[in-house]
Chains A and B, each alone.
Chain A
């Protein structure tokens, strides 16, 4: 019998701590797939953000540095400037990257650091218990916006992939989702392409992945996938917002 599907070797054989229906496990798998696809395991360094993302080092069989909340792009900058021939990526949630770490992500992109950012956008602070994030949709109820996010009080959900695409330093910026098999296939290609961009020294690559958080959204896994389709994607459109010139999509 031929084995057609297996765990990427870069992913340790340990159970995830993530809640049922959460997309973090899937995203971990996609990142590991890209690392193994290009045979990068032994020369990749991950940088973990703070939040549900922090346990990257429990699951990936690679070197990992843990960054203070929001500072992963700065830590990755320091690593990559020293280790120019190595592959460096950060793994950050929306509170980490788009709120407290907004300055670091924007300036790291603007410098065109040759690193890859894996940005998990689930519109909520997961680990701390479901508080409002900068990406929380208008009207979305969270533990700190119990009446629903009100733009007069809390502004608007930020579209990071589009925003970073406006910077000259950004080489590749894309948004994908994981709610359907078709979207998953596109997401896998996007993550691979981000690493390929870095391998080709083309500069800053950014993948925003719309992710579910059934626990903090207060719904089942299936309902959460539906919410990604019906509520998230209309506000956070999928697509490539910037890509390196002269390269073919993978």
Chain B
């Protein structure tokens, strides 16, 4: 049954987690994501789950590691500085092939920065973030509806690949309230969890580890992880594309900036400018191939971000030499407004 709700992004996300079967949450307070732990501290008690307010983000991520090793669907959430603290644990989880959902409701940085929306953690999210050669699945919602829907997907993808999945939202998406539709959820068909720790009863002991010391082991393990990332690139790329058929210029943007770009594109179209939108929904795997195909037809791109230029590097790598890629950056403090983006469109059109 469908249910319409007028709800905050952070709460939509938390509702999605419960619906996805997440029963364990570990987190530490930080603005602008506090509605997530606040909601779950209550909601998890109703489904015989467990909420722990950890002593730090470092502890949160390692509790998550333990719960995941035990086979549970579990998550944590934080905002940029807290996500930095979690990077050690995320690296261990990627190395140990543990699934979990990690939510980053980005705020501005570097350092303590501020609590306003930012897209400054794109590099951190899409390049692994911690030490070692690994990737996490990164989903970028641009509406309250997607804060909810992509959370469901994140749990499925994490389990499918035995890999951490990140949701990269921001302060605007977490705090804004809009209508969403809640639909029934059916988990994808997923591989059996035949690796979880439960006590070696009637079977050989299992290990969850990322230490490989024997000759050749570490190399083999890295190539094994690499094969998973390749499979993600083949099977999990998601993006939204609109108005590109007749476009002279395509805007590439994710999350909140894609949202603002949509309005800017309407203004541009009204002024007779043929502008389209390409919005990556998976930031890793990045929709390289789709962008390359698009670049065969459209020769001018404008990447818009709430930072000084991060995703634009992936856009440039994707389109190779087939198109000109321009960039408009609006570093955090306040989100960009449509008129400002329209001006940036006119400048490169």
Which A positions have Cβ atoms within 8 angstroms of B?
A: 41-45, 47-48, 54, 57, 60-68, 71, 74-83, 86-87, 103-104, 106-107, 111
Contacts and interface: CB of A to CB of B under 8 A. Distances in A.
Contacts of A66: 92, 96, 207-211
Nearest to A45: B197
Given A79-B69, A82-B50, 7 more contacts: A57-B205, A64-B205, A78-B70, A78-B74, A79-B67, A79-B70, A82-B66
B210 A82 contact: no
B176 interface: no
Given A63-B206, A65-B209, A107 B59 contact: yes
B56 A68 contact: no
B202 interface: yes
Nearest to B202: A42
B99 interface: no
21 contacts: A43-B199, A44-B199, A62-B199, A62-B205, A63-B198, A64-B207, A64-B209, A66-B96, A68-B65, A71-B58, A74-B58, A76-B66, A78-B64, A78-B70, A78-B74, A79-B69, A79-B70, A82-B71, A83-B197, A86-B198, A111-B52
A80 B62 CA distance: 13
Interface in B16-61: 24, 26, 50, 52, 54-56, 58-60
Given A57-B207, A71-B59, A62 B66 contact: no
Contact of B199 (A45, A60, A111): A45
Nearest to A42: B201
A160 B201 CA distance: 34
Chain B: number of interface residues, binned into ranges: 35 or more
Contacts of B202: 42
B24 A81 contact: yes
B209 to A, nearest CB: 4
B119 to A, nearest CB: 28
Contacts of A42: 199-202
B63 interface: yes
Nearest to B88: A68
B47 to A, nearest CB: 14
B23 to A, nearest CB: 8
B92 A68 contact: yes
A3 B72 CA distance: 43
Nearest to A100: B58
Contacts, number: 135
B83 to A, nearest CB: 16
Contact of A63 (B54, B62, B72, B205): B205
B209 A75 contact: no
A74 B199 contact: no
B1 to A, nearest CB: 31
Interface of B: 24, 26, 50, 52, 54-56, 58-60, 62-72, 74, 88-89, 92, 96, 197-202, 205-211
Contacts of B211: 54, 66
Interface-central residue, A44, A75, A77, by most chain B CB under 10 Å: A75
B209 A103 contact: no
Contacts of A87: 199
Contact of B200 (A63, A67, A107): A63
A47 B207 contact: no
A118 B55 CA distance: 22
A48 B96 CA distance: 14
Contact of B69 (A54, A71, A78, A107): A78
B194 to A, nearest CB: 13
Contacts of B56: 103
A177 B224 CA distance: 44
B65 A75 contact: yes
B199 to A, nearest CB: 4
B200 A75 contact: no
A76 to B, nearest CB: 6
Contacts of A60: 205
Given A68-B88, A81-B50, A82-B71, A47 B199 contact: no
B214 to A, nearest CB: 11
A189 to B, nearest CB: 24
B152 to A, nearest CB: 21
B88 A78 contact: no
A103 B312 CA distance: 40
Contacts of A62: 199-200, 205
A104 B24 CA distance: 18
A44 B199 CA distance: 5
Contacts of B96: 65-66
Contacts of B71: 82
B210 A67 contact: no
A75 B62 contact: yes
Contacts of A68: 62, 65, 88-89, 92
A156 B16 CA distance: 49
Contacts of B66: 47, 65, 67, 74-82
A128 to B, nearest CB: 15
Contacts of B201: 42-43
Nearest to B197: A63
A19 to B, nearest CB: 17
Cβ-closest 8 pairs across A and B: A78-B66, A74-B62, A82-B70, A43-B199, A42-B201, A78-B67, A66-B209, A107-B55
B328 to A, nearest CB: 40
A81 B52 contact: yes
